[in-house]
Amino acid sequence: MAKRPTKRAAEEPLEEAVAVSSPLPKRARVEDVADEDLPPPPPPPPEVVANGANGSHVRAATVAGQDSEGDDEDEAEEDGDEDAPPSRQVAPAEGYSDLYLDTIDRARLDFDFEKLCSVTLSNINVYACLVCGKYFSGRGPKTSAYFHALEVGHHVYINMGTKKVYVLPEGYEVKSTGLEDIKVVVDPKFTADEVKALDRQKQPAWDLAGRKYIPGYVGLNNIKANDYLNVVIQSLAHVAPLRNFCMLEDLSTRPQLVQRFSTLVRKLWNSRAFKSHVSPHELIQEISLRSGKKFSLSEQADPVEFLSWFLNNLHLSLGGSKTKPGSSIIQRIFQGHLRVESQSITARADAHDRLRFEDAEIKTQESPFMVLSLDLPPAPLFQDNSKKNIIPQVPLTTLLQKYSGVQAQERLNTRLRYRLLHPLPPFLIMHVKRFASNKFLQSQRNPTIVTFNPRSLDLSPYIEPNPSVHPLNEPVVYDLVANITHEGVKVRDDSVEGEAERKVWRAHVRESGGAEGGKAEQWWEMQDLFVEKVNADLLSTKEAYVMIWERRKATKGKGKGAVT
């Protein structure tokens, strides 16, 4: 019988071996054993931070629990779970404060779109991944951002509300001055001195791609058919009192419509942008929701209808009253008053069916307005032999005769006369009515060109004199700030005018401070993403549709009633 081999002897006695701490023992689930009868668990192993052979690292564990800031409502969904949540770091390990910051890709970041989670479509507690630019809701365990960090390996996220940056899945906040440029792009902020400098000489800026742009004169993205909205936003963004209000006032407690419009205006004037254009997607989504999808990004609409709706809703969102005039900054900037005289039209057989007004009572009332409508004369059906009336022209002063109080307008069986009243608003919006429905309920366009001088428009002949408000025989001068033009492009070559036309909207805005110091006045033409300079003499060669005029302030020290 073979002899069994003996066991190999130990190289050193067991008593002299180095004691190594063993992992935590599992606690036995014994129901009949009291807690005090069980031995106490051994202390946890010391915290270790070591580099592995392959360059990987193990970060030190920190105290368990929630962050001390109290803003982790996104982790409340783990309450009630039988398993304890994993430990979350409250600060980076020593020597690793800049960990993962080199993975941020600023060229892929786009904060113009609506803040919705790309997985759950939730708009609560949204975080943006600074590596790929996607949105996720929450940052606690079992959230989409947490799993995105584990599965894809993107670790740096910014809270779109608080502008705080976190590293996931660890969960600690990153406080680095190298991230300030990202926070400025998410929500630009301006000081009072910076806002005053906007109207001075323009300084060019460059985006990440090296493209040069002028802050305030950048393009708006046309997502599908929202060019009608782009021209209105571009025009309102250059109304100085409204622009300054959006930049300096704290609107965080106001409705979303005001907040998103304010953010878009500040992004248009941001000199530290990553791109040389801005997308109005976030504002359009709110407008579509509040208007019942009357104004959306997928269907074309009329800029005047949108402008009226937008100003009224901004007025109400800012706490304005429906009955009290001047109750918000919107009405203080744009609202004026006019006198309307109405008289019934009667016909008598003894007068050979002639229209008579002598016996009709004249009714007078004052009416507020924010958009002043101008009627174009009917376009000629045929052109003359010299072909001078191919495109008819009419001066703007001729259209303003509607408000002289003498020229009458007839509507059904009523004769109307209009007269502007003092004081006129600081900014006057005019609408040239180019579209009208014919008997076949089709929209017809009037191609008449309105000629005007962008500077020194005197409106005193159309205002009712009021010496207590404005001196007699003194001009009321306005200068053009923005001009929205229309162009009809035929879709088919064989189509009749107005049947198959695509409407193209453009905005002409005046460069603020361009005429100061003897410099020539500079204008910019904006059509979606296309922005270029345009000569001021060419403004009246387009089909003007909406014009915004700024009242010129009186010059101090040049005598009573002098104007600049």
What is the pLDDT, as a whole number, of residue 384? 62
* CA angle, residues 410, 465, 471, in degrees to nearest 5: 155
For residues 103 and 140, what is the distance between their CA atoms, to the nearest angstrom?
21
Helix, coil or strand: residue 523: strand
- The answer as to whether 121 is a domain residue is yes
Q: Which residues contact 423 (CB under 8 A, 6 or more apart)?
A: 336, 469, 470
Q: What is the pLDDT of residues 114-155, one digit of tens each?
A: 999 999 999 999 999 999 999 999 988 889 999 999 999 999
Overall number of domains in the chain? 3
What is the pLDDT, as a whole number, of residue 358? 53
CA distances from 508 to 56, 78, 434 (A): 57, 54, 18
Beta strands in 192-318 (DSSP E): 205-206, 212-213, 219-220, 277-278
168 and 243 share one domain: no
Last residue of a domain, one of 305, 326, 361: 305
Which amino acid belongs to residue 495? Answer: S
Tell me the mean pLDDT in the region 47-65: 39
Last residue of a domain, one of 124, 153, 184: 184
**Closest of 363, 371, 229 to residue 295, by C-alpha:** 229
473 and 375 share one domain: yes
- Residue 262: CATH number of its domain: 3.90.70.10
**Closest of 138, 145, 43, 140 to residue 86, by C-alpha:** 140
Do the beta carbons of residue 247 and residue 339 sit within 8 Å?
Answer: no
Token representation of residue 59:
């970060």
- The answer as to whether 421 is a domain residue is yes
Name the most confidently modeled range: 203-217, 427-441, 512-526: 203-217
**Closest of 451, 469, 452 to residue 460, by C-alpha:** 469
Among 288-297, 373-382, 507-516, 546-555, the range scoring the smallest mean pLDDT is 507-516
Tell me the mean pLDDT in the region 388-416: 85
Domain coverage including residue 255: 188-305
For residues 112 and 89, what is the distance between their CA atoms, to the nearest angstrom?
31
174 and 197 share one domain: no
CB atoms within 10 A of CB 300: 14
- The answer as to whether 45 is a domain residue is no
Helix, coil or strand: residue 71: coil
Q: What is the mean pLDDT of the chain?
A: 80
489 and 359 share one domain: yes
Q: Virtual CA dihedral for 248, 236, 213, 225, nearest 10 degrees?
A: 130
165 and 192 share one domain: no
For residues 401 and 408, what is the distance between their CA atoms, to the nearest angstrom?
10
Q: What is the pLDDT of residues 4-28, one digit of tens each?
A: 555 555 555 555 544 444 444 444 4
- The answer as to whether 471 is a domain residue is yes
More confident residue, 387 or 129: 129
Task: Note the pTM of the prediction, 2 decimals.
Answer: 0.79
- The answer as to whether 39 is a domain residue is no
Q: Which residues contact 194 (CB under 8 A, 6 or more apart)?
A: none
3-state secondary structure 220-247: ECCCCCCHHHHHHHHHHCCCHHHHHHHH
**Closest of 18, 171, 199 to residue 85, by C-alpha:** 171
Last residue of a domain, one of 141, 156, 184: 184
What is the pLDDT, as a whole number, of residue 435? 87
154 and 223 share one domain: no
For residues 145 and 134, what is the distance between their CA atoms, to the nearest angstrom?
9
More confident residue, 54 or 205: 205
Do the beta carbons of residue 372 and residue 396 sit within 8 Å?
Answer: no
- Residue 97: CATH number of its domain: 3.30.40.10
What is the pLDDT, as a whole number, of residue 476? 93
522 and 471 share one domain: yes
- The answer as to whether 238 is a domain residue is yes
What is the pLDDT, as a whole number, of residue 18? 45
154 and 194 share one domain: no
- The answer as to whether 12 is a domain residue is no
Does residue 345 come out as left (phi exceeding 0), alpha (psi in the -120 to 50 range) or beta? beta
* Side-chain-side CA neighbours of residue 538 (13 Å): 9
490 and 382 share one domain: yes
Do the beta carbons of residue 230 and residue 528 sit within 8 Å?
Answer: yes
* Beta-sheet pairing, 165-167 with 172-174: antiparallel
Gyration radius (Cα) of the chain, Å: 35
254 and 115 share one domain: no
Among 51-60, 164-173, 358-367, 474-483, the range scoring the smallest mean pLDDT is 51-60
Among 98-102, 322-326, 343-347, 401-405, the range scoring the smallest mean pLDDT is 343-347
Q: What is the pLDDT of residues 493-518, one digit of tens each?
A: 555 555 567 889 999 999 876 544 44
Q: What is the pLDDT of residues 176-235, one digit of tens each?
A: 888 999 999 999 999 999 999 888 877 889 999 899 999 999 999 999 999 999 999 999
Token representation of residue 366:
């004052």
Do the beta carbons of residue 394 and residue 376 sit within 8 Å?
Answer: yes
180 and 251 share one domain: no
Token representation of residue 392:
């008819």
Token representation of residue 261:
């419009």
Token representation of residue 110:
């786009």
Tell me the mean pLDDT in the region 83-87: 54
Do the beta carbons of residue 355 and residue 348 sit within 8 Å?
Answer: no
Q: What is the pLDDT of residues 340-369, one digit of tens each?
A: 998 887 765 555 555 555 556 788 999 999
What is the pLDDT, as a whole number, of residue 382? 67
467 and 358 share one domain: yes
Among 16-30, 426-440, 467-481, the range scoring the smallest mean pLDDT is 16-30
What is the pLDDT, as a whole number, of residue 35? 43
Do the beta carbons of residue 266 and residue 186 sit within 8 Å?
Answer: no
Residue 492 has pLDDT above 70, yes or no: no
